[in-house]
């Protein structure tokens, strides 16, 4: 604190000179420089009530606004003393003896001649400065008009995670500055105000970008954010999995979200958690394959190939297996992902052999690997129930042959046409057999009929004889 008293001291000196000159002049005229008894006139300023003084062990009362005249023996040194050096006027207001009008600063002075004296008091006010933190709290009396300087630190650390930040004074010229001052004209209590702040520590178990660390006011809303995805390279990335509150007793509403908000009531430390993901890359020149993509480390992946993969024009690709980090012939495979993986889907080309035949007595149509040899077969002859036969005559189309069995190199889609011819030989034979059967039946009928007629005639004759 710095106390500036130059103005007050100058004022008091001027008042003292004024009273000394005026009273001495009036008193000189009264005594006319006589060597008669010493006469002292005493008054007090700016006292508003009677005060006692002691003159040579005798008590005299000085009335407010008046003079107390005291006659003393000449030729002897006399002592005058102020009894009340402090005079309380009101709560927080008082008068403090400052000096005599002749310049003496001691409450007790000695005189040996007539003189007019004024006991000069200064008004003082009680000032209390409460800083609580970061500065000196003071309490005391200060002269009217005196300047009081007060200072506090702008920031006070209670510990590593809690601090107080200066926010202003209750009174003063520079209320919003840690360096404040004011002039005393009344009793005053000046209080420093503080904001409590807590430190929010946001970290990551992986070198990812997180935000939100810093100092925040108590009960303020804090927003934190974590980088949702951290690519390491084309095959490895880390993904945010959630927040862990390490200290502070905070419960987040949605700990799985990379952005969160909460009301701060205590220091808190929060960690952003990440999990590695590995790429399962599937290379396939044909067909439809599924299961590629990023998987959490240690998780199960299922890859599958849709087979066959048909193309226009009787062509198709057939899945044959997986190679690379997975070796299997099964179209669908499950496995554990522990690292980035590259898998190749293998296919083979097939062509279709189409056999057209009016008679369903051929074999060999279907799908064949490119370059394979297909074998087509046809029955020699096919006969129906009436005995009409279809006789194989040969092959036309992409391959021409009269042989019932023909080999076709499948270097492209192929078509064979079976050629058949009708034969009625069997029908004729069957018709002859039927005619012979009918004739035999007729002959048997005739024979049977004649025998019956013959027997009937013999029987009739016998009856007539009798």
pLDDT single digits (tens) 115-131: 999 999 999 999 999 99
* Rounded average pLDDT over 416-429: 80
Domain end, chosen from 255, 276, 297, is at: 276
Helix (H, G, I), strand (E, B), or coil: what is residue 90?
strand
When comparing pLDDT for 410 and 448, which is higher?
Answer: 410
pLDDT at 29 over 70: no
Residue 373 and residue 414: Cα distance in Å, rounded?
11
Q: Which residues contact 218 (CB under 8 A, 6 or more apart)?
A: 195, 196, 197, 198, 264, 265
* Together in a domain, 392 and 441: no
Per-residue pLDDT band at 25 (split at 50, 70, 90): very low
Judged by average pLDDT, the poorest of 15-29, 151-165, 302-316 is 15-29
Domain end, chosen from 244, 260, 276, is at: 276
* Together in a domain, 265 and 296: no
* Together in a domain, 85 and 164: no
Q: H helices then E strands: how many in the chain?
A: 2, 36
Domain hosting residue 300, numbered range: 284-423
Task: Examine residue 46 and say whether the peptide bond preceding it is cis (omega within 30 degrees of 0).
Answer: yes
Judged by average pLDDT, the poorest of 16-25, 271-280, 350-359 is 16-25
pLDDT for res 464: 60
When comparing pLDDT for 287 and 190, which is higher?
Answer: 190
* Domain-embedded: residue 136: no
Is 64 within 8 Å of 57 (Cβ atoms)?
no
When comparing pLDDT for 445 and 205, which is higher?
Answer: 205
Per-residue pLDDT band at 3 (split at 50, 70, 90): very low
pLDDT at 298 over 70: yes
Predicted confidence (pLDDT) per residue in 83-122, tens digit: 999 999 999 999 999 999 999 999 999 999 999 999 999 9
Judged by average pLDDT, the poorest of 49-53, 366-370, 454-458 is 454-458
pLDDT at 445 over 50: yes
* Domain-embedded: residue 137: no
Task: Examine residue 308 and say whether the peptide bond preceding it is cis (omega within 30 degrees of 0).
Answer: yes
Residue 460 and residue 466: Cα distance in Å, rounded?
10
Total tally of structural domains belonging to the chain:
4
Q: Which among 132, 92, 111, 100 has a CA at the least distance from the CA of 40?
A: 111
Q: What is the mean pLDDT of the chain?
A: 88
Which pair of structure tokens corresponds to residue 425?
């030989």
The domain spanning residue 38 has which CATH number? 2.60.40
* Together in a domain, 294 and 240: no
* Rounded average pLDDT over 170-188: 95
Judged by average pLDDT, the poorest of 213-227, 253-267, 418-432, 444-458 is 444-458
* Together in a domain, 268 and 342: no
* Rounded average pLDDT over 326-333: 96
* Together in a domain, 244 and 360: no
Residue 427 and residue 439: Cα distance in Å, rounded?
18
Residue recorded with tokens 């209670």: 158
pLDDT at 232 over 80: yes
* Domain-embedded: residue 1: no
* Together in a domain, 334 and 462: no
Predicted confidence (pLDDT) per residue in 55-74, tens digit: 999 999 999 988 999 999 99
* Together in a domain, 334 and 418: yes
pLDDT for res 389: 87
pLDDT for res 460: 61
């Amino acid at each position: 604190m710095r106390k500036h008293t130059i103005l007050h001291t100058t004022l008091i000196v001027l008042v003292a000179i004024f009273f000394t000159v005026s009273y001495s002049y009036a008193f000189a005229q009264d005594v006319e420089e006589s060597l008669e008894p010493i006469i002292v006139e005493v008054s007090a300023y700016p006292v508003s009530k009677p005060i006692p003084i002691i003159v040579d062990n005798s008590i005299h009362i000085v009335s407010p606004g008046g003079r107390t005249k005291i006659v003393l023996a000449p030729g002897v040194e006399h002592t005058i003393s102020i009894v009340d050096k402090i005079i309380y006027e009101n709560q927080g207001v008082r008068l403090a003896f400052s000096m005599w009008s002749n310049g003496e600063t001691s409450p007790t002075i000695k005189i040996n001649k007539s003189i007019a004296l004024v006991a000069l008091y200064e008004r003082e006010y009680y000032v209390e400065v409460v800083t609580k933190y970061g500065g000196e709290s003071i309490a005391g009396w200060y002269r009217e008009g005196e300047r009081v300087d007060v200072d506090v630190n702008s920031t006070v650390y209670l510990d590593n995670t809690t601090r107080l930040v200066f926010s202003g004074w209750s009174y003063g010229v520079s209320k919003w500055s840690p360096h404040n001052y004011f002039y005393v004209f009344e009793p005053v209590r000046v209080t420093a105000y503080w904001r409590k702040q807590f430190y929010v520590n946001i970290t990551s178990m992986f070198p990812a970008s997180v935000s939100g660390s810093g100092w925040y006011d108590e009960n303020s809303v804090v927003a934190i954010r974590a980088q949702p995805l951290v690519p390491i390279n084309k095959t490895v990335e880390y993904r945010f999995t959630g927040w862990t509150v390490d200290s502070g007793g905070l419960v987040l509403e949605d700990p799985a979200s990379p952005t969160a908000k909460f009301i701060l009531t205590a220091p808190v430390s929060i960690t952003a958690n990440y999990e590695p993901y590995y790429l399962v890359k599937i290379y396939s020149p044909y067909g439809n394959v599924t299961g590629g993509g990023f998987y959490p480390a240690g998780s199960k992946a299922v890859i599958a190939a849709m087979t066959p993969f048909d193309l226009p024009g009787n062509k198709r690709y057939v899945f044959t297996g997986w190679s690379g980090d997975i070796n299997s012939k099964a179209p669908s495979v499950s496995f554990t992902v522990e690292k980035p993986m590259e898998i190749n889907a293998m296919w083979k080309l097939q062509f279709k052999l189409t056999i057209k035949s009016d008679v369903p007595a051929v074999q060999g149509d279907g799908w064949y690997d490119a370059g394979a040899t297909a074998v087509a077969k046809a029955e020699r002859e096919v006969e129906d129930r009436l005995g009409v036969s279809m006789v194989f005559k040969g092959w036309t189309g992409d391959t021409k042959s009269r042989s019932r069995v023909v080999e076709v190199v499948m270097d492209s889609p192929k078509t064979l046409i079976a050629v058949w011819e009708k034969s009625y030989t069997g029908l004729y034979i069957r018709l002859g057999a039927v005619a012979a059967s009918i004739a035999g039946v007729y002959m048997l009928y005739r024979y049977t009929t004649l025998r019956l007629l013959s027997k009937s005639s013999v029987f009739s004759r016998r009856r007539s004889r009798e």
